Every structure is written in structure tokens, then in C-alpha cells.
Amino acid sequence: MTQPAQERVGVITNDPLRLAGLTAICSDALGTEIVPMTVSAGLKGRDPDLVLIDAETTPQLFEVIAALRSTHPLVKLLILGTTTSQDYVERIIGAGAKGYLTLDAPETEVRMAVQIVKDGSVWAPRKVLARLLDRRELGRPGAASMPMFTARERDVLGLLHAGRSNREIAMALDIDESTVKAHIGRLMRKVGVTNRIALTVHPLTKLS
């Protein structure tokens, strides 16, 4: 029987210790194949599902993001750096990256960020996401009205706030993963947001 192709995560960094650390985290915990990459070589062969870019060893970071977005629009980009400036992180997200993570983040946060970005959502510090949400969502007409959640939707929201993945939510509630995705889709439409991270930081989803 043919085994399914292993998911690939590309890493652009000139720091061998950082590469080794990311390889250990992603390969062991997430079952992904780590592919060391260079900016000059670009993406060759089968495209990775996600590319981690070390901002501290990547000159002209925003030009690199733009180039990868232009040549490989389906590849998701997660930037790692030391800067915690909200304006800087917003600029990275605005340039087309799907997420930003500090290099001193704990392993659990790295694994979660990688999984969330691979799933198609945005990952960034909560303060940044909250500010983006204030600008893009709360100013929309009708966004301040309280939506009505079903009991099951409240269960899903509670697990989302706890940082659970779709698979973990499905196991906890004894439902299919596709059903979880459908619940999250309805929740996003009710609240008026476009991704699961914005859903978890939105004030209208605070159930306590």
C-alpha cells in the first residue's frame, strides 16, 4: 500500500543551531519533513506546505516574502524573529506572511503556530491580532451585536480558547473533524471574522 506523502516544512536560516532546534520540534512532534532552504536557491522540487523564515538571518526580509508570495502563492509563510513591535508584526502580516513568532517562544507555542498556519489561519501575538481585529472587524456595521451560539458551538469555542486543534476538538467532543470545521465556519460567519485566531480573540466569543 502506498504511504501518503509526508508534509514538508521549509526552513530559511543561516543558524545551524536554530535549524536543528526547529527540526527537532517539527519532525518529532508534528511528523513533518524539514527541508533546509536558501533564498538564492528558492523552492525546488515538490513545494513545502509551509516555510519558516528566520528574520534575523534573512537580509531584505520583505523582498523575500514578496518574491515567495509571487512565485509560490499557495505556500504559507511563518516568520520568526526577535522584534516584538506591533507595527513591525502588522507589516509582516500585511506583506503576505501567515504568521509571526518570536524566536524565544516555547516549543508548545512553536508547534501550535506551525499547525495553525498550516491549517490556513493567521498566527501572531494576541495584542497584534486584537488590534487588527479592532481595525478590520469591530468597525463593521452590526459587528457589535451579540450573536446567538448553540450549545455545541459554545463547546467548540471553549476548546478553541484552550488552544486545541481541530483534531483535538473532534476527539474531545466525539465528532468528525469535518464537523468541527463546519462549526468553526459558522462561528466565524456569525461573529464576522475571517480566521480562527481572530475568532478566539474576538470579545463576542468570551463565554465566561
Q: Is the predicted pLDDT of residue 107 greater than 80, yes or no?
A: yes
Per-residue pLDDT of 66-97, as tens digits, reads: 888 888 888 899 999 998 888 888 888 888 89
Helix (H) or strand (E) holding 12: strand 8-12
Question: How many Å apart are CA 201 and CA 208, to the nearest integer?
Answer: 13
Q: Can you give the pLDDT at residue 125?
A: 79
What pLDDT, on the 0 to 100 scale, is given for residue 204? 64
Question: What was the pLDDT predicted at 172?
Answer: 92
The mean pLDDT value of the chain amounts to: 79
In percent, how much of the chain has pLDDT > 70? 77
Q: From 70, 69, 68, 92, select the one nearest 79 (Cα to Cα).
A: 92
pLDDT in tens, 36-53: 776 655 555 557 788 999
pLDDT digits (tens, 9 = 90+) for 111-146: 888 888 887 778 887 777 766 666 555 445 444 455
Nearest to 53, CA basis, from 1, 91, 3, 99: 99
Domains, the chain: 8-132 (3.40.50.2300), 142-205 (1.10.10.10)
Q: What is the pTM of this model?
A: 0.63
Residue 32 CA to residue 114 CA, distance in Å, equals 10
DSSP E strands in 70-130: the ranges are 76-81, 99-102
The C-alpha cell of 45 is what? 522540487
